[in-house]
Structure 1
Amino acid sequence: MPLARFSSFELLLLKSRHQTDTASLLLMAWVLASRGHITAPDRQRFAELAHDFRHGHDLDPLIEIAASHDLAAIQLAAEVLHKDASGERAYPFLRQVTALAASDGPLTAANYHILCFLADLLGVPPNEFSGLFEATTGQPFKAPDDPSCTAYWQAKERQQEQHHQRESENRRDSSSRQQHQHDHHRQDQRSQQQQRHHHQRQHEKRSNTHQSPPPNDRTRRALAVLGLEPGASRSEIRKAYRRLAQVHHPDRVFARGDAITASASQRFQRIKKAYDYLMEAS
């Protein structure tokens, strides 16, 4: 006689310390899987809920069964729950599964129908479940939009039109801000350029104001006597005078006769006068 082969969920029920709790956990995992991919935060939330259940086995197989949408296992879990958790015992479970379904925002269409199925399975009337849902989530229990209705697609079109209008307004606002920034930048550049021109004119004006006037004829002659160029400083004038005075002082040629001495004296007088004039003029 061939041995009976058990499914993964049947094996978990055989291992479970409390089969109703194991069935409840599978249906909760089914709610998570019906929202889409089961994320790490979903697994963490599921593990925290499982602390209050007497299952005694690993939770990962339950999540894998729910993620594979094993309808045979889900049907078996529903039968176990219907047998052992109907009536008043259904309300704690429905509160938990409702909070789980609404934990990440509005209900998906799949979770809406799952909650309706579970409430009906456990014998809770629709009006009572609506009150339970609102008390648990703070939101009314509303049916999702029906894609088979014309009003659904009309509302979608209005939403798309509003979305496109907001995007168009945002683009216009962005373009206006960019143009304003560009104009402001150009204005700053013009202002900086005007300031540079102003500073340049002021500098040229100060330079022209402080520029020494060209030397007159007498000054040029005095400088030429001392062997200097126009613009010579007082220190340069003094050094030139001392050097020429040592060379052309009459005492240096006194022994060479009166004529040479007289010529040296005249030369020295011109040097002395040129020096005195330049020192006074500077």
Structure 2
Amino acid sequence: MPIARFSPFELLLLKSRNQADTAGLLLLAWVLASKGHLADADRRRLTELARDFRHGHELEPIIEIAAQQDLGAIQLAAEVMQKDCCGEQAYPFLRQVIALAVADGKLASAHHHILRFLADLLGVSPSEFAQLFAEVAGKEFANPDDPSRTGYWQAKERHRQQQEHQQQERQRSQDRHSRERHSHERYSSGQQHHQRSGTGGSQRQHRHHSTQEPPPGDRTRRALAILGLEPGASRSEIRKAYRRLAQLHHPDRFFAEGEAMVANASMRFQKIKKAYDYLMQAS
């Protein structure tokens, strides 16, 4: 007759001083491993918990089985636990499970399903488990997001669009400030050069200075900055800048992206139009 082969977890159960404790340790390790990996901090947490368990074997094999997500071993551990504790007897174990699941501050989606599975397995009703969770975690055990629902992805898309819009607004603000600073620096440099060339000069230089155009006012500088132009821009340059920006920021281009984007584009377009009208009248 062929010799029966035992799985690594079955061998641990055969060596264990208390099979329910060995099964409980595997389920706790499963909770930690469900995040995708077992970090050093997770290993330390499990080692500290294992001191109160009567398993009598090394902990590393348990960690390896959990890291491999061995569903056969996990199912066997669940069956062993189910026979040993049920109902209120399972409360201490479930408190340990909850503490591990929320150790990082946020309950992962996978943990939602594991916690519900273990509570149901050990005969603890949803309302009883919700109360246990609130006692341990200090917050409500809310329903997890459901990726199968359309609303889940719509909310994700709205969040993504809001982040993109905020990033675009920050970039536009930075670009605008950069243009205004550059324009101010050029204007200040021109003023200083003009003052140096005009002091102590001849009568001819004085006459030349008196006939120069006055520097642009604040409103003119703001309008030029909106159109991305430097002081002294010609009417032709103003028209070209306006046509380019009007096509880029016209609200009709953002219709498919929602009302918020259309409203923002409309405000930008109005600023561009007012700057253009003012500059054309002033020139």
Where on the TM-score scale, by shorter chain, does this alignment land: which range?
Answer: 0.5 to 0.7
Give how far 1:179 is off: 3.8
Structure 2 stretches lacking a partner, 5+ long:
201-283
Give the paired residue count. Answer: 201
Give how far 1:184 is off: 6.3
Residue of structure 2 equivalent to 1:41: 41
Residue of structure 2 equivalent to 1:60: 60
Residue of structure 2 equivalent to 1:238: none
Structure 1 stretches lacking a partner, 5+ long:
203-282
Indicate yes or no: 2:5 matched with 1:5: yes
Q: For the residues of structure 2 that align with 1:186 and 1:51, how far apart are their CA atoms?
A: 73
TM-score (ref. length: structure 2): 0.63
Instruction: Give the direction of change, closer, same or farther, for the CA distance of 1:191–1:3 in structure 2 (3 Å limit).
Output: farther
Q: For the residues of structure 1 that align with 2:124 and 2:168, how far apart are their CA atoms?
A: 49
Where 2:152 maps in the other structure, the secondary structure is helix
Q: For the residues of structure 1 that align with 2:189 and 2:51, how far apart are their CA atoms?
A: 68
Give how far 1:26 is off: 0.6
Q: For the residues of structure 1 that align with 2:168 and 2:148, how far apart are their CA atoms?
A: 30
TM-score (ref. length: structure 1): 0.63
Q: For the residues of structure 1 that align with 2:117 and 2:174, how far apart are their CA atoms?
A: 49
Instruction: Give the direction of change, closer, same or farther, for the CA distance of 1:10–1:194 in structure 2 (3 Å limit).
Output: farther
Q: For the residues of structure 2 that align with 1:60 and 1:194, how far apart are their CA atoms?
A: 81
Give how far 1:136 is off: 1.0
Residue of structure 1 equivalent to 2:136: 136
Amino acid of the structure 1 residue aligned with 2:129: F
Residue of structure 1 equivalent to 2:150: 150
Residue of structure 2 equivalent to 1:174: 174
Q: Bigger shift: 105-114 or 19-28?
A: 105-114
Indicate yes or no: 2:58 matched with 1:26: no
Q: For the residues of structure 2 that align with 1:140 and 1:42, how far apart are their CA atoms?
A: 24
Q: How do 1:1-282 and structure 2 match up within 5 A?
A: 1-179=1-179, 182=182
Please, what is the CA RMSD of the aligned residues? 2.6
Deviations 1:67-117 (A, max 9, x none): 212111001100111111212220011011011112223322221111011
Amino acid of the structure 2 residue aligned with 1:7: S
Q: Bigger shift: 160-169 or 123-132?
A: 160-169
Instruction: Give the direction of change, closer, same or farther, for the CA distance of 1:146–1:194 in structure 2 (3 Å limit).
Output: same
Q: For the residues of structure 2 that align with 1:42 and 1:17, how far apart are their CA atoms?
A: 24
Identity over the aligned pairs, expressed in percent? 59
Give how far 1:193 is off: 6.7
Give how far 1:188 is off: 7.4
The structure with the largest alpha-carbon Rg is 1
